[in-house]
Amino acid sequence: MIPVLSDEHKAYIREKTKEKRTVSALRAAIILLFFLLWEAFTRIGVLDPFIFSSPSRAFRCLYRMSLDGTIFRHAAVTFCEAAVGFLAGTVCGILIAMLLWWFPRAEKVLDPYLVVINSLPKIALGPVIIVWVGSGYSSILTVTLLVSVVCTVIGVLSGFREVDEEKLTLLRSFGAKKRQLFAYAVFPASIPAVISALKINVGMTWVGVIVGEFLVSRSGLGYLIVYGGQVFRMDLVMGSVLILCALAGVMYYAVGFAEKKAKRFLAD
Protein backbone atom coordinates (compact mmCIF):
# COMPACT_ATOMS: atom_id res chain seq x y z
CA MET A 1 0.00 0.00 0.00
CA ILE A 2 1.40 3.36 -1.05
CA PRO A 3 1.35 5.86 1.85
CA VAL A 4 -0.61 9.06 1.26
CA LEU A 5 1.43 12.19 1.92
CA SER A 6 -0.15 15.10 3.72
CA ASP A 7 -0.17 18.57 2.21
CA GLU A 8 2.35 19.70 4.82
CA HIS A 9 4.69 16.84 3.91
CA LYS A 10 4.37 17.63 0.20
CA ALA A 11 5.13 21.28 0.89
CA TYR A 12 8.18 20.26 2.93
CA ILE A 13 9.45 18.06 0.07
CA ARG A 14 8.95 20.89 -2.43
CA GLU A 15 10.85 23.27 -0.15
CA LYS A 16 13.75 20.86 0.24
CA THR A 17 13.87 20.23 -3.53
CA LYS A 18 13.85 23.97 -4.18
CA GLU A 19 16.68 24.45 -1.68
CA LYS A 20 18.80 21.75 -3.37
CA ARG A 21 18.26 23.33 -6.79
CA THR A 22 19.14 26.76 -5.43
CA VAL A 23 22.36 25.46 -3.89
CA SER A 24 23.32 23.68 -7.13
CA ALA A 25 22.59 26.82 -9.17
CA LEU A 26 24.69 28.97 -6.84
CA ARG A 27 27.58 26.52 -7.04
CA ALA A 28 27.47 26.60 -10.84
CA ALA A 29 27.19 30.41 -10.81
CA ILE A 30 30.30 30.74 -8.62
CA ILE A 31 32.34 28.59 -11.01
CA LEU A 32 31.04 30.44 -14.06
CA LEU A 33 31.71 33.84 -12.47
CA PHE A 34 35.23 32.78 -11.54
CA PHE A 35 36.07 31.78 -15.12
CA LEU A 36 34.43 34.88 -16.59
CA LEU A 37 36.35 37.24 -14.28
CA TRP A 38 39.60 35.35 -14.85
CA GLU A 39 39.20 35.56 -18.62
CA ALA A 40 38.11 39.20 -18.53
CA PHE A 41 40.96 40.34 -16.28
CA THR A 42 43.57 38.71 -18.52
CA ARG A 43 42.06 40.25 -21.65
CA ILE A 44 41.91 43.81 -20.28
CA GLY A 45 45.40 43.59 -18.75
CA VAL A 46 44.57 43.47 -15.04
CA LEU A 47 46.28 40.08 -14.93
CA ASP A 48 49.29 39.17 -17.04
CA PRO A 49 48.21 36.19 -19.21
CA PHE A 50 51.82 35.00 -19.43
CA ILE A 51 51.93 34.56 -15.64
CA PHE A 52 48.28 33.77 -14.80
CA SER A 53 47.29 32.18 -18.13
CA SER A 54 43.53 32.31 -18.86
CA PRO A 55 40.64 29.84 -19.16
CA SER A 56 40.71 29.99 -22.96
CA ARG A 57 44.45 29.27 -23.08
CA ALA A 58 44.17 26.47 -20.51
CA PHE A 59 41.28 24.80 -22.35
CA ARG A 60 43.08 25.11 -25.71
CA CYS A 61 46.11 23.43 -24.15
CA LEU A 62 43.95 20.63 -22.76
CA TYR A 63 42.26 20.21 -26.13
CA ARG A 64 45.58 19.86 -27.93
CA MET A 65 46.76 17.31 -25.37
CA SER A 66 43.49 15.39 -25.66
CA LEU A 67 44.00 14.84 -29.38
CA ASP A 68 46.86 12.39 -28.78
CA GLY A 69 45.52 11.19 -25.42
CA THR A 70 48.37 12.69 -23.37
CA ILE A 71 46.18 14.46 -20.84
CA PHE A 72 44.01 11.37 -20.35
CA ARG A 73 47.07 9.23 -19.65
CA HIS A 74 48.47 11.63 -17.08
CA ALA A 75 45.05 12.17 -15.45
CA ALA A 76 44.46 8.42 -15.25
CA VAL A 77 47.83 7.89 -13.54
CA THR A 78 47.09 10.52 -10.90
CA PHE A 79 43.50 9.37 -10.34
CA CYS A 80 44.57 5.74 -9.88
CA GLU A 81 47.24 6.80 -7.39
CA ALA A 82 44.70 8.91 -5.51
CA ALA A 83 42.08 6.13 -5.49
CA VAL A 84 44.53 3.55 -4.14
CA GLY A 85 45.92 6.01 -1.60
CA PHE A 86 42.42 7.03 -0.48
CA LEU A 87 41.23 3.46 -0.01
CA ALA A 88 44.45 2.36 1.71
CA GLY A 89 44.53 5.44 3.94
CA THR A 90 40.87 5.05 4.87
CA VAL A 91 41.12 1.35 5.71
CA CYS A 92 44.38 1.72 7.65
CA GLY A 93 43.13 4.82 9.48
CA ILE A 94 39.86 3.19 10.57
CA LEU A 95 41.64 0.01 11.69
CA ILE A 96 44.19 1.98 13.72
CA ALA A 97 41.40 4.06 15.29
CA MET A 98 39.57 0.85 16.22
CA LEU A 99 42.70 -0.56 17.86
CA LEU A 100 43.29 2.63 19.82
CA TRP A 101 39.68 2.62 21.02
CA TRP A 102 40.02 -1.03 21.99
CA PHE A 103 43.18 -0.33 24.00
CA PRO A 104 42.62 2.99 25.84
CA ARG A 105 46.08 2.99 27.40
CA ALA A 106 47.70 2.81 23.97
CA GLU A 107 45.48 5.71 22.87
CA LYS A 108 46.67 7.83 25.80
CA VAL A 109 50.31 6.99 25.09
CA LEU A 110 50.16 7.61 21.33
CA ASP A 111 47.87 10.66 21.31
CA PRO A 112 50.68 13.30 21.42
CA TYR A 113 52.64 11.40 18.78
CA LEU A 114 49.64 11.46 16.42
CA VAL A 115 49.41 15.23 16.83
CA VAL A 116 53.14 15.69 16.18
CA ILE A 117 53.12 13.42 13.11
CA ASN A 118 50.03 15.18 11.75
CA SER A 119 51.69 18.60 12.09
CA LEU A 120 54.96 17.48 10.50
CA PRO A 121 55.39 18.80 6.92
CA LYS A 122 55.45 15.58 4.91
CA ILE A 123 57.34 17.10 2.00
CA ALA A 124 60.31 17.51 4.37
CA LEU A 125 60.48 13.70 4.57
CA GLY A 126 60.50 13.35 0.79
CA PRO A 127 64.25 12.70 0.38
CA VAL A 128 64.21 10.23 3.26
CA ILE A 129 61.20 8.37 1.82
CA ILE A 130 62.90 8.12 -1.58
CA VAL A 131 65.95 6.54 0.06
CA TRP A 132 63.81 4.14 2.10
CA VAL A 133 61.30 2.89 -0.49
CA GLY A 134 62.79 3.98 -3.82
CA SER A 135 61.91 6.65 -6.38
CA GLY A 136 58.73 5.32 -7.90
CA TYR A 137 55.09 4.56 -7.23
CA SER A 138 55.93 3.25 -3.76
CA SER A 139 57.24 6.70 -2.75
CA ILE A 140 54.05 8.40 -3.93
CA LEU A 141 51.88 5.90 -2.03
CA THR A 142 54.02 6.27 1.09
CA VAL A 143 53.72 10.06 1.07
CA THR A 144 49.97 9.78 0.48
CA LEU A 145 49.54 7.39 3.41
CA LEU A 146 51.61 9.61 5.70
CA VAL A 147 49.37 12.54 4.86
CA SER A 148 45.99 10.78 4.99
CA VAL A 149 46.23 8.02 7.60
CA VAL A 150 46.87 10.22 10.63
CA CYS A 151 44.03 12.59 9.73
CA THR A 152 41.69 9.63 9.36
CA VAL A 153 42.78 8.17 12.69
CA ILE A 154 42.24 11.45 14.54
CA GLY A 155 38.83 12.10 12.94
CA VAL A 156 37.44 8.59 13.40
CA LEU A 157 38.83 8.25 16.92
CA SER A 158 37.16 11.53 17.89
CA GLY A 159 33.87 10.06 16.69
CA PHE A 160 34.41 6.95 18.81
CA ARG A 161 35.08 9.11 21.86
CA GLU A 162 31.89 11.13 21.45
CA VAL A 163 29.53 8.17 21.81
CA ASP A 164 27.14 8.66 24.72
CA GLU A 165 28.71 6.98 27.75
CA GLU A 166 25.28 6.33 29.27
CA LYS A 167 24.38 4.07 26.35
CA LEU A 168 27.58 2.10 26.85
CA THR A 169 26.90 1.82 30.58
CA LEU A 170 23.40 0.53 29.86
CA LEU A 171 24.75 -2.12 27.50
CA ARG A 172 27.39 -3.14 30.03
CA SER A 173 24.67 -3.57 32.65
CA PHE A 174 23.07 -6.16 30.35
CA GLY A 175 26.39 -8.02 30.11
CA ALA A 176 27.53 -6.74 26.70
CA LYS A 177 31.14 -7.53 25.79
CA LYS A 178 33.53 -4.96 24.37
CA ARG A 179 33.10 -6.38 20.88
CA GLN A 180 29.32 -6.01 21.21
CA LEU A 181 29.68 -2.46 22.51
CA PHE A 182 31.67 -1.53 19.44
CA ALA A 183 29.45 -3.36 16.94
CA TYR A 184 26.06 -2.22 18.26
CA ALA A 185 26.76 1.19 19.81
CA VAL A 186 30.13 2.79 19.08
CA PHE A 187 30.55 2.22 15.35
CA PRO A 188 26.93 2.87 14.26
CA ALA A 189 26.86 6.10 16.28
CA SER A 190 30.21 7.15 14.77
CA ILE A 191 29.25 6.74 11.10
CA PRO A 192 28.69 10.53 10.62
CA ALA A 193 32.16 11.17 12.09
CA VAL A 194 33.63 8.49 9.80
CA ILE A 195 32.02 10.13 6.76
CA SER A 196 33.36 13.52 7.84
CA ALA A 197 36.83 11.99 8.18
CA LEU A 198 36.49 10.54 4.67
CA LYS A 199 35.64 13.97 3.26
CA ILE A 200 38.75 15.42 4.87
CA ASN A 201 40.73 12.43 3.66
CA VAL A 202 39.76 13.21 0.05
CA GLY A 203 41.64 16.51 0.18
CA MET A 204 44.57 15.09 2.12
CA THR A 205 44.90 12.21 -0.34
CA TRP A 206 45.20 14.56 -3.30
CA VAL A 207 47.74 16.65 -1.41
CA GLY A 208 49.82 13.53 -0.75
CA VAL A 209 49.61 12.31 -4.35
CA ILE A 210 50.60 15.66 -5.86
CA VAL A 211 53.46 16.11 -3.37
CA GLY A 212 54.68 12.62 -4.23
CA GLU A 213 54.50 13.36 -7.96
CA PHE A 214 56.37 16.61 -7.42
CA LEU A 215 59.20 14.58 -5.89
CA VAL A 216 59.63 11.49 -8.05
CA SER A 217 57.03 11.09 -10.80
CA ARG A 218 57.60 11.17 -14.54
CA SER A 219 53.89 11.06 -15.29
CA GLY A 220 50.70 12.37 -13.77
CA LEU A 221 49.19 15.80 -13.22
CA GLY A 222 51.77 16.70 -10.58
CA TYR A 223 54.53 16.04 -13.10
CA LEU A 224 52.77 18.24 -15.69
CA ILE A 225 52.46 21.07 -13.16
CA VAL A 226 56.16 20.91 -12.29
CA TYR A 227 57.19 20.61 -15.95
CA GLY A 228 54.91 23.46 -17.01
CA GLY A 229 56.34 25.71 -14.30
CA GLN A 230 59.90 24.91 -15.31
CA VAL A 231 59.33 25.82 -18.99
CA PHE A 232 56.96 28.74 -18.18
CA ARG A 233 53.97 27.10 -19.84
CA MET A 234 51.34 28.41 -17.48
CA ASP A 235 48.51 27.22 -19.71
CA LEU A 236 49.75 23.67 -19.06
CA VAL A 237 50.00 24.35 -15.32
CA MET A 238 46.53 25.86 -15.02
CA GLY A 239 44.98 23.23 -17.29
CA SER A 240 46.44 20.47 -15.11
CA VAL A 241 45.16 22.23 -12.00
CA LEU A 242 41.66 22.40 -13.50
CA ILE A 243 41.71 18.67 -14.28
CA LEU A 244 42.98 18.04 -10.75
CA CYS A 245 40.08 20.03 -9.27
CA ALA A 246 37.58 18.12 -11.41
CA LEU A 247 38.94 14.72 -10.31
CA ALA A 248 38.98 15.76 -6.66
CA GLY A 249 35.37 16.90 -7.06
CA VAL A 250 34.41 13.50 -8.48
CA MET A 251 35.93 11.75 -5.46
CA TYR A 252 34.27 14.18 -3.05
CA TYR A 253 30.83 13.58 -4.58
CA ALA A 254 31.43 9.83 -4.44
CA VAL A 255 31.95 10.18 -0.68
CA GLY A 256 28.83 12.34 -0.51
CA PHE A 257 26.88 9.60 -2.30
CA ALA A 258 28.16 7.09 0.26
CA GLU A 259 27.05 9.46 3.02
CA LYS A 260 23.48 9.53 1.66
CA LYS A 261 23.41 5.73 1.50
CA ALA A 262 24.72 5.51 5.07
CA LYS A 263 22.04 7.92 6.34
CA ARG A 264 19.28 5.92 4.64
CA PHE A 265 20.68 2.72 6.11
CA LEU A 266 20.72 4.20 9.62
CA ALA A 267 17.22 5.60 9.16
CA ASP A 268 15.92 2.15 8.19
Q: How does pLDDT run across 162-207, given as a tens digit for each residue? A: 887 788 787 888 887 888 888 888 888 888 888 888 888 888 888 8
- Cβ proximity of 137 and 78 under 8 Å: no
Terminal-to-terminal C-alpha distance of the chain: 18
pTM for the whole thing?
Answer: 0.82
* pLDDT, position 266: 63
* pLDDT, position 1: 47
Query: How far apart (Å, rounded) are the C-alpha atoms in residues 160 and 186?
Result: 6
* DSSP notation for 203-258: HHHHHHHHHHHHHH-SSSHHHHHHHHHHTT-HHHHHHHHHHHHHHHHHHHHHHHHH
Contacts of 39 (CB under 8 A, 6+ apart): 54, 55, 56
The SS3 call for residue 1 is coil
Q: What is the DSSP letter of 120?
A: S
Q: 54-267 belongs to which CATH class?
A: mainly alpha
pLDDT tens, position by position, 69-92 = 889 999 999 999 899 989 998 899
